[in-house]
Amino acid sequence: MVKEDVLTAEAKIDADTKKAIVDVVTANLEATEKEDIHAALATVDSESPGYAQTRDTLGRLFLAYDIDYELELANVIKVSDTEAYVYTVYTAKKIDGPEYNDSRNKQVHRLTKQADGSWKIYISYTIAC
């Protein structure tokens, strides 16, 4: 188990790199809230083993629910030339749809650097709350 202080400690990286990485995670959550599957998938690495599952899950989620997401924290933990790790905390609250348990979620996202220099989410790990 990774301690909270490790997840919230700021990585020593330049501001532009940090912004580019956090912007991807933020864009993913915003697109998910807007139910824009194309925009959400544009933030995910198409080489990710979970890409197809993510697409299918989002499609089902968008048909059944209207959910409000709020990002509380996005902290870049570690960055190398090819990958980055971002710790996020966000809430998900149902606006409309069948029974749903509102939640506060903690995740670590592994992002990969693309050939064009952009970053995309490769895989996300949920941390038990």
At position 66, the amino acid (one-letter code) is D
CA distance 107 to 60: 21
DSSP-assigned letter for residue 44: B
Q: Which of 29, 34, 30 has its CA nearest to residue 109?
A: 29
119 is in which domain, residue-wise? Answer: 4-127
pTM over 0.85: yes
What is the structure's pLDDT at 1? 66
CA distance 38 to 59: 10
The segments of the chain whose pLDDT lies below 70 read 1, 129
Helices (H), the chain: 4-8, 15-33, 37-41, 51-64
Number of independent structural domains in the chain: 1
What is the structure's pLDDT at 129? 62
